[in-house]
Amino acid sequence: MSLLDLLRGRGARRMRVLTCGHPALRRRSEAVSAVTPELRELAGRMVVTVFENETAGVGLAAPQVGVNTRLIVLATHDPEEPPGLTASAGELLLGPRMPLALINPEVIWFSPETESRDEGCLSLPEVNGPVERPARVVLRASTLDGEVIQVECAGLLGRCIQHEIDHLDGILFVDRLRDEDRAVVAPQLAALERRARRQLGLAEAAASAEGPPSA
Ligand code: ZN
């Protein structure tokens, strides 16, 4: 039984993914000081959320579900599939353990060489654009069981780690687009932000209204 089946069997429910314009996506998240049962449950629900979204993601950071804590989940690899011949040490180590939750992840080394690849994000539905990032990074993080991982990651994994850690610092991939590429997606971003503001306004209005909310 896969981890995902196990989580579903326990009734872990997916969470709503916040979209661009929600303030939680722009906050710097707090370090995890202790792995509580609540944190484990959050990690499990984030894993289910990654797989059960309309477009399956390859990773998710806690701020995307409204929790500003330094927790990410990674699902860049199918644990059943053997790694490619050029797989990095990180892909070899972490790929078979995916989906994997990591706490307090940080990049302690960035390669000088960079590469550009299209990115997307569950918090920016239907927005894509090329982001230039270091091709290899050394990740340091802890698992929920207290194991400290320090390993060099490249490929999709290396990119995903940088993308998810950006979320913990309030950064979205569109912030890293070149000006001309950001101009292409600017109308989509404006529409997402308008929608988020409307939803927040409705939520605040409901919270301040007297009596129980009607929906
Ligand atoms: Zn993202």
Are the beta carbons of 196 and 154 closer than 8 angstroms?
Answer: no
pLDDT band at 211 (very low <50, low <70, confident <90, very high): low
**C-alpha Rg value of the chain to the nearest Å:** 18
Separation of 118 CA from ligand 1 center, angstroms?
Answer: 12
162 pLDDT more than 70? yes
Percent of the chain at pLDDT exceeding 70: 92
* Measured distance CA(84)–CA(185) in Å, rounded: 33
Tens-digit pLDDT profile for residues 28-65: 999 999 999 999 999 999 999 998 876 667 999 999 99
- For the chain, the distance separating the N- and C-terminal CA atoms, rounded to the nearest angstrom, is 38
* Measured distance CA(209)–CA(36) in Å, rounded: 35
Separation of 138 CA from ligand 1 center, angstroms?
Answer: 20
71 or 200, higher pLDDT? 71
Separation of 164 CA from ligand 1 center, angstroms?
Answer: 6
pLDDT band at 14 (very low <50, low <70, confident <90, very high): confident
Catalytic residue IDs: 164
pLDDT for the residue numbered 16: 92
Separation of 214 CA from ligand 1 center, angstroms?
Answer: 32
207 or 164, higher pLDDT? 164
* Measured distance CA(87)–CA(95) in Å, rounded: 10
Separation of 79 CA from ligand 1 center, angstroms?
Answer: 22
Domains of the chain, each with CATH number or no CATH: 3-206 (3.90.45.10)
User: What CA–CA distances, in Å, run from 205 to 198, 213, 214?
Assistant: 10, 9, 12
70 contact partners, CB below 8 Å, separation of at least 6? 29, 30, 31, 32, 62, 103, 104, 105, 168
* Measured distance CA(94)–CA(152) in Å, rounded: 11
